[in-house]
Structure 1
Amino acid sequence: MSIARVFLALLATAALAACQSIAVLDQPIPDAELRSGTAVFGEPVWSTDLPDVELVATDEAMRAFVASVAQAPRERDRLRALLDLMRRHGYVANTYEPYLNLTAREAFAVKRGNCLSYTSLFVALAREAGFDAKFQVVAVPPDYDSVDGRLVLNKHVNVRIENVPGRGAVTVEFSEEYASGIYNRKVVTDDYATALHYNNLAFMHARNGDPHSEFVYLRKAIDATPDNPDYWANLGVFYGRQEQHDHAVAAHRRALAFDAYHAAAIRGLANAYTALGRDEAARLYRKRIAHSKARDAYAYFALAQRALEARHVAYSLEMLANAVRLFDDDYRFYELQGQAYGELGDEAAAEASFKRARTVARASREEARIRDRTERHPRAQILIGGPHVSSFKLLE
């Protein structure tokens, strides 16, 4: 089954380890100028140039859809009824499309969308049915993708329902892979989720070659959550692509003001300083990137993924060896290694890698079971229809 995703158009490949401080003097550029886009477009660009989205707004059809659910006398029964109703009407994970960015109303109308689309839809319907539904960001392992030559870091979201009688807080999950509940989760605001949606729209317009719309949606994301370094780093990437490298530096530095170890911003600074001919500053930041890559297995894993897609099998295996050397507890490393050996026709090595992947995956599941038993509030793991519910999977 496809993994549910929300993507950030970052050029980073790793979370950074602590290292030396770097003092580089730059010409300050005010936030207001960075947000205006004047350096690229010759005049200010405003957030109002494109309409705001109402991510979880409902319409008459949606309210009618949940009317029978809202009438159920017991809240516990209403949750089950809502889940069953969505499943019966085709709102299931096999209609998931990772880069289709829709609001709740749009996803309801077409029964398609990405992770954030389906999560927004469920939040909207659950609230109409009387539930206290909230967005959650899930701290899943780094998940990279390569889209049109851009390295993308995917994020995962799901839904938290508060105060369900007999169950307490309940998580509703649209991804089979993450339904175990072993990953840490953090409730976030509607503004946070809306900013994710704006960022996704910016990435979509970047792919479509529409820099004006890309910039407007990036600005909307920053306006919604101005302390999120991801969007400032993405703004730095935008300015870099438009060859406004001083503005790229300023945007990346703004990201670092919120997260001193933000990998995308550090990489962006290295690229911007190189473009400006400031070789010493670029060298310092590239050294910091290299330092972090050497300590982050997921950077190598991302490179291995891209190399295998490009049929550079030997290089992919080399990167996977580095990843495993640094961190040997992610079954995906061995799974990809098996695929690479399969491309080479080495069936024995491929089977050995797949066997190791299965072993690591089983160990991870056992660790999750132990964690569930020892947590103060253990989480049950069920499919719809099971008797002890605290984590749902909405699957067909």
Structure 2
Amino acid sequence: MVTGETGNEPAKGIPSRQESWKIRDSKHDVGRIAMKTPENSGLAIEKRSHRRIFWLLGGVGMLAVLLSGCSSTPRPPVAVDTQWLLSGVAIFGEPLEMEPLPEDDILGLQPEIKSYLAQIAPQASPQQRLTALLKAFENRDFIVEYHADRTLTASETYNQQVGNCMAFTVMMVAMARELGVEAYFNQVEVPPVWEEQEQEQTFVVYRHINMVSESSRGRRVVDFNLAAYDPVYDQYRISDMEAFAQFYSNRGLEWMRQGEMSKAFRYLSKALALRPKSSDLWANLGAFYSRNQRLDAAEQSYLQALQLNSGHALATSNLERLYRRQQRMDLADYYAAKAQYHRQHNPYYLYYQARNAYEHGDYKSAKKQLKRAIWQYKDDHRFHFLMGLTSFKMGELDDSREHFTAAFSLADNPGTQQAYNRKLEYLKNHLQ
């Protein structure tokens, strides 16, 4: 977890490690607390105004994300029966009794938690109380162990001391508000994580979320994962309702993985009741239907996602897979071409390809992809650092030095700079 100026679940298959999280705001460092967080690569971009970009998170089976527009001829719009999709008829054979929809006490705090918070610097200002709370966590060696599939309420997270970024943020927002702090949910456009449902060859999407509080002293961010957070990512405040919709969607997908399809459908329906115009939520409903072999309903859900966001890559990729399963090759090829266009015009997809080539010793291919990535977006320090490593391996020392310098100039996260220094020291010590 990190707090600082201005957050995704980790990629599937990335190992975990014990890591401390640091709390800081625009004025001072507040403290440090031991916390188990997932391993993640440095993910920062220079702190400056920049165009909004959408990217791919590297990982097995991951596909590129969102650059609107495609050279292919657009497919004519298809009518989508959203009422049918949300009735449950497609999977249960009859309309599912939906009332009442789930009403989880997401921000509720149990009396014992409130009693504990009441003792935290009761005479101090709200921001001072939040600082004291974080220091108290440190003194108690408070641990929240990362579990990607544990979307929990505030009280559940506190009591069980496990959860994902949504669970942790829910707990922190609830506790901060109890202390009198004006805290809100903050969505961070770090590379979105798609979890492949391997058996059904579909993807689901999660978004990264953290907590922000603002005061005269500056803007304080509280984030689960220090390695994944960088203050220059595109990020924006979201309402409680938007955050709750993500919460219910996450829980719905968790119920789906556990085989509890009725509960899963209710939670996904609750999410869409809160945010009916969210393309992410419709795409996740499509994954639910695909998982249950209701391909007509899955198709309709993905098409609804694309009607709301024509560049939604998850829906595009899942439609391609769905049509190939149905041997509808013309449509499959159409969506494959659309996805491929996005990939090849996405600097982060090119970076992923370059990283994969570098790890396999194909430095020529790595450099080719990195040149294309840097041409499209020059302000990501990771592109330059990998180009520096690649040029070093190819014996192009002047080029290597130039890109290492650019990488350190763009990376204003001290943790990232330290990681780069360790890597360079390792290379220096292992020169043949």
Check if 1:221 corresponds to 2:271.
Answer: yes
Aligned counterpart, 1:256? 306
How far is the alpha carbon of 1:87 from its aligned partner? 2.6
Check if 1:126 corresponds to 2:172.
Answer: no
Change (3 A) 1:319 1:229: farther
Aligned counterpart, 1:363? 409
Check if 1:157 corresponds to 2:204.
Answer: no
| 1:4-51 deviations in Å (ceiling 9; x for gaps) | 53489997532134125513364x342111012211221223445774
Secondary structure of the residue aligned to 2:162 is coil
Aligned counterpart, 1:187? 237
| 1:159-213 deviations in Å (ceiling 9; x for gaps) | 1223x3x315433333323565222321111121122222222332333344333
TM-score (norm 2): 0.68
Q: Quote the Cα distance in structure 1 between the aligned partners of 2:178 and 2:247.
A: 21
Q: Quote the Cα distance in structure 2 between the aligned partners of 1:219 and 1:195.
A: 10
Change (3 A) 1:354 1:231: farther
Check if 1:326 corresponds to 2:378.
Answer: no
**Aligned 8 A contact 1:13 1:302 in 2:** no
Question: Larger deviation: 242-251 or 125-134?
Answer: 242-251
Q: Quote the Cα distance in structure 2 between the aligned partners of 1:153 and 1:224.
A: 17
How far is the alpha carbon of 1:85 from its aligned partner? 2.0
How far is the alpha carbon of 1:276 from its aligned partner? 4.2
Check if 1:35 corresponds to 2:81.
Answer: no
Aligned counterpart, 2:338? 288
Q: Quote the Cα distance in structure 1 between the aligned partners of 2:384 and 2:205.
A: 20
Letter in 1 for 2:221: T
Change (3 A) 1:322 1:365: closer
Q: Of Structure 1 and Structure 2, which has the larger fraction of its residues in helix?
A: 1
Q: Please tell me the root mean square deviation across aligned C-alpha atoms, in Å.
A: 4.1
Aligned counterpart, 1:202? 252
Change (3 A) 1:227 1:314: farther
Letter in 2 for 1:83: L
**Aligned 8 A contact 1:7 1:153 in 2:** no
- Identity, in percent, stands at 27
How far is the alpha carbon of 1:73 from its aligned partner? 3.4
Change (3 A) 1:262 1:77: same
Change (3 A) 1:167 1:24: same
Letter in 2 for 1:24: P
| 1:58-79 deviations in Å (ceiling 9; x for gaps) | 1101101110236223334222
Letter in 1 for 2:185: F
Letter in 2 for 1:155: R
Secondary structure of the residue aligned to 1:157 is strand
Aligned pairs for 1:16-165 (under 5 A) are 16-20=67-71, 22-24=74-76, 26=78, 28-48=79-99, 51-69=102-120, 71-91=122-142, 95-140=145-190, 142-144=191-193, 149=198, 154-162=206-214, 164=215
Change (3 A) 1:202 1:7: farther
Give the length in aligned residue pairs. 355
Where structure 1 has 5 or more consecutive residues not aligned to the other structure, the ranges are: 342-346, 370-396
Letter in 2 for 1:364: L
Check if 1:5 corresponds to 2:8.
Answer: yes
How far is the alpha carbon of 1:147 from its aligned partner? 5.5
Check if 1:240 corresponds to 2:287.
Answer: no
Change (3 A) 1:179 1:223: same
Secondary structure of the residue aligned to 1:52 is coil
TM-score (norm 1): 0.73
**Aligned 8 A contact 1:300 1:320 in 2:** no
Letter in 1 for 2:8: R
Q: Quote the Cα distance in structure 2 between the aligned partners of 1:199 and 1:315.
A: 40
Letter in 1 for 2:69: A
Q: Quote the Cα distance in structure 2 between the aligned partners of 1:250 and 1:244.
A: 10
**Aligned 8 A contact 2:384 2:407 in 1:** no
Letter in 2 for 1:78: R
Change (3 A) 1:185 1:107: same
**Aligned 8 A contact 1:15 1:292 in 2:** yes
**Aligned 8 A contact 2:271 2:281 in 1:** yes
Secondary structure of the residue aligned to 2:411 is helix
Aligned counterpart, 2:349? 299
Aligned counterpart, 2:220? 170
Secondary structure of the residue aligned to 1:136 is strand
Change (3 A) 1:209 1:169: same
**Aligned 8 A contact 2:211 2:221 in 1:** yes
Change (3 A) 1:8 1:221: farther
**Aligned 8 A contact 2:9 2:193 in 1:** no
| 1:236-259 deviations in Å (ceiling 9; x for gaps) | 222233333332222112112221
| 1:220-275 deviations in Å (ceiling 9; x for gaps) | 22112111110101112222333333322221121122212111122233333334
Where structure 2 has 5 or more consecutive residues not aligned to the other structure, the ranges are: 13-55, 57-61, 415-432
How far is the alpha carbon of 1:277 from its aligned partner? 4.2
How far is the alpha carbon of 1:153 from its aligned partner? 5.0
